[in-house]
Structure 1
């Protein structure tokens, strides 16, 4: 993977962790305005996850890198995203577009982080679909 410079999130946390991941997956957008994206096609997605917090856990980690990989890469790699229950073919806010996939990754990661005693926060998910197209998802402050 090439080293990337990602958009930075301004915050006051003591620690910031960034994890790069990738997975290969296919998808299609079930809408007439999606053009060629209505057809099944695949991408090698590159993901950068930004997690921040003020406290480390008992092992000295903000969050274990392997846990992030297991949450994101393992379930999506070599799958058809449309087959996952979290995506819908009837609700545009849940079509497997890059924007929605980035939001779903955030939701999966934050749900895991909420179980940790040191309560880190996912601040940003950067999701590159192609060499020239990417999405940044950031939750609104206070969420």
Structure 2
């Protein structure tokens, strides 16, 4: 994988990890204004997930990198993203499988898992590169308690 610099998230947590992964998947945007993207096509997505927190778990991890890969890569690699009906649909534009929505959905999946961990880390950012020249970033709004 090519190493690259991602946009940084300003935060006051003590620890931050980033997990890169690459997955091959197809999609189409179900709207006539999407132009060529309304047709079925595929990408090699590059996804970077940023997680931060103040406490490590009993193994010394903020979160296990392998778990992040299982949550996302194993779920979406070599699939038609539109077929993930629990996440994406053709009725609500916020649920079309655009790079922006994919980034948001990945963040939500990751955070749902993080919420089960005793050290309660936060997913601060998901970066989704769709092509060498196009990417989306999603950052949920968090307030540190």
* TM-score, structure 1 normalization: 0.98
Q: 1:27-83: per-residue Cα shift (whole Å, max 9, x none)? A: 000101000000000000001110000000000000000000001100100000000
What is the aligned partner in structure 1 of residue 33 from structure 2? 33
> Structure 2 unaligned runs (5+)?
none
1:140 Cα offset (Å): 1.7
Q: Which residue of 2 aligns with 1:142?
A: 143
Q: Match of 2:5, SS?
A: coil
Q: What are the equivalent positions in structure 2 for 1:115-126 lying under 5 Å apart?
A: 115-126=116-127
**TM-score normalised by the chain length of structure 2:** 0.97
Secondary structure of 1:55's match?
A: coil
Structure-1 residue corresponding to 2:7? 7
Structure 1 segments, 4+ long, off by >2 Å, are none
Query: Pairwise CA RMSD of aligned residues?
Result: 1.0
Alignment of 1:1-143 (within 5 A): 1-85=1-85, 86-142=87-143
Q: What is the alpha-carbon distance in structure 1 between the residues aligned to residue 124 and residue 94 of structure 2?
A: 21
Shift of 1:141: 2.9
Long gaps (5+) in structure 1? none
